[in-house]
């Protein structure tokens, strides 16, 4: 039985979910994969905060206690760009495999970090950075690696989709956002979701994987201007309104667009409701591939993190 020690940076919604999921699945993982995954240290901001199911003896407020410990693999779920980037760079320099759910970091510095990882001979797993538990990263990196991708279109932000679904029931934008906050899908400041920037960051990551060409055009329009009246007009035309993120080939490169669109009811994206995510990938050889599922929440994202941990442990 091979033992793999993990250093965990962050123990919030996703980090706490990862700890609980690993505890629940440890026996199955040992039996199926022959690997015993063990968390060595956990970075937190407030060491006195109650965290059910988390061993307090593992907690520290010093990132170096985690990164410079005897761990083989570092899981980064603190979020943000600058501090998280510093942590990830140090982990790579120390020869640690890295698993991250940080879409903002990868959208901003992905190329640099992947180059550094290659030079150090380590892997970066990032399935959880896009669409939570929907394995779109794995599909592009492995399952569809033999095909040329023509386009990717999807609902990449569960919060905005939840808001639009509530607006379809008659709520205004502000009340729909409040409902999303009460349900735990929207942050206190939901601007990244509503403005389309969250979806744009995820789309940029998918485009880096799918296309070997430069981005020639980027357009991001949020859902602030969508009204219940517009949704009702779309319904009368046999459509629903969805925030669609699309990457497609254009002359000399790739176009990235995030915008609210009227989607015909027969289209796969029209059937995506509430906090669900979905991605439609069109390949030259395979045609249309549709992936959908829970794109937000503690446990779906934690499951994607754990999947990458297993892949990295086997590297």
Annotated catalytic residue, options 41, 51, 202, 294: 202
Is 205:114 a contact under the CB 8 Å cutoff? no
Alpha-carbon Rg of the chain, whole angstroms?
A: 20
Q: How far apart are CA 202 and CA 279, in angstroms?
A: 11
Q: How far apart are CA 245 and CA 277, in angstroms?
A: 11
Whole-number Cα distances in Å, 161 to 128, 207, 253: 19, 21, 29
Whole-number Cα distances in Å, 8 to 27, 70, 103, 138, 289: 20, 12, 17, 22, 34
DSSP state of 271: G
Burial class (CB in 10 A: 0-12, 13-18, 19+), 252: exposed
* 49 in active site: no
**Strand partners for 254:** 215, 249
Tell how strand 149-155 and strand 276-283 pair up: antiparallel
Alpha-helical (H) ranges within 142-297 are: 158-167, 173-182, 191-194, 197-210, 228-236
How many CB atoms are located within 10 Å of the residue 41 CB? Answer: 23
Catalytically active residues are 202
């Amino acid at each position: 039985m091979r033992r793999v020690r993990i250093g965990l940076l962050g123990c919030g919604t996703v980090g706490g979910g990862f700890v609980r999921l690993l505890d629940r699945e440890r026996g199955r993982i040992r039996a199926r994969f022959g690997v015993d995954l063990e968390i060595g240290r956990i970075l937190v901001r407030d060491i006195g905060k109650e965290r059910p199911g988390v061993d307090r003896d593992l907690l520290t407020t010093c990132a170096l206690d985690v990164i410079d410990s005897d761990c083989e693999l570092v899981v980064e779920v603190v979020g943000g760009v600058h501090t998280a980037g510093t942590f990830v760079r140090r982990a790579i320099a120390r020869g640690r495999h890295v698993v991250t759910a940080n879409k903002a970091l990868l959208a901003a510095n992905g190329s640099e970090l992947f180059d550094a990882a290659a030079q150090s001979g380590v892997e970066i797993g990032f399935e959880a950075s896009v669409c939570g538990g929907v394995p779109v990263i794995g599909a592009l990196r492995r399952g569809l690696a033999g095909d040329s991708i023509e386009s990717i279109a999807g609902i990449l932000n569960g919060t905005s989709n939840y808001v639009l679904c509530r607006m379809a029931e008659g709520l205004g934008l502000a009340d729909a956002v409040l409902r999303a906050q009460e349900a735990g899908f929207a942050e206190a400041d939901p601007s990244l979701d509503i403005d389309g920037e969250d979806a744009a960051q995820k789309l940029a990551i998918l485009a880096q994987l799918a296309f070997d060409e430069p981005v020639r055009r980027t357009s991001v329009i949020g859902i602030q201007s969508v009204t219940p009246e517009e949704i009702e007009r779309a319904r009368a035309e046999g459509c629903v309104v969805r925030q669609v993120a699309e990457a497609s080939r254009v002359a000399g490169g790739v176009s990235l667009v995030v915008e609210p669109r009227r989607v015909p009811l027969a289209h796969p994206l029209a059937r995506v409701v509430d906090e669900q995510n979905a991605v439609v990938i069109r390949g030259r050889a395979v045609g249309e591939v549709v992936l959908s599922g829970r794109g937000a929440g503690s446990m779906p994202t934690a499951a994607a993190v754990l999947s990458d941990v297993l892949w990295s442990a086997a590297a």
